[in-house]
Amino acid sequence: MTDSVALDPVDLHILRLLQNDARTTYRDLAEAVGVAPSTCLDRVARLRRSGVILGHELRLDPARLGRGLQALLLVQVRPHRRDLVGPFVDRVRELPESRALFHLTGPDDFLVHVAVAGTADLQRLVLDEFTARPEVARVETRLIFQQWECGPLLPPA
C-alpha cells in the first residue's frame, strides 16, 4: 500500500474543484481557492508528481455510442492461479465491451462492468468471451438500471 500524501485545505479545495471539472483553467482555479495562479500551478504540479492526481478522464455516454445496456458480470475462475489470472485479465481488458474490471475476495473472483448494444449482445459476450474460457467456472449477470457518480474523493477526515 502506498503512503498518504499530506494535503492542506488549499490542496483539498483544488482537488474538489478539479474533480467536478478537470477542464477548469489555472486562473479560475487559483481565484476560487484564493492563491496566485503560479502558486496554483505549482500545487497542481506537486499533486501530479506525488501521484495524487493520476490524469484526466474523458467520460462517454455508452448509450450514445450504441451500447445502451450495461451489466455487471460476477466471474469465478477455477483454479484461481496466477498463471490463469494474468491472461484472463489481459483478455477482459481487450474486450471493447469492458468498462471496468475488479479482482475481488470472496466467492467471486472478478467483477466486470460491461456495456453492450442489447440482450443478444450480452448473451454473445457471456457465452463466447467468458463461459467459453476453460478457467471460467461461473458467470452471474446483473443488469444496471441506473448509475450515479459519487464523490469527490478526499482523504478521511
Q: Does domain 9-49 sit in CATH 3.40.50.300?
A: no
Residue spans per domain, the chain: 9-49, 63-144
> What does the pLDDT look like over 24-54, one tens digit per residue?
999 999 999 999 999 999 999 999 999 999 9
- Mapped onto helix, strand or coil, the DSSP state of residue 50 is coil
Matching CATH topology for 9-49 and 63-144? no
Amino acid at 125: L
Are 91 and 110 contacting, i.e. CB atoms less than 8 angstroms apart?
A: no
pLDDT at residue 156 greater than cutoff 90: no
Cell numbers for 39, please give them: 502558486
CATH topology of domain 63-144: Alpha-Beta Plaits (3.30.70)
> What does the pLDDT look like over 102-132, one tens digit per residue?
999 999 999 999 999 999 999 999 999 999 9
> What does the pLDDT look like over 53-71, one tens digit per residue?
999 888 899 999 999 999 9
Cell numbers for 76, please give them: 469465478
What DSSP state is assigned to residue 2? P
Are 6 and 139 contacting, i.e. CB atoms less than 8 angstroms apart?
A: no
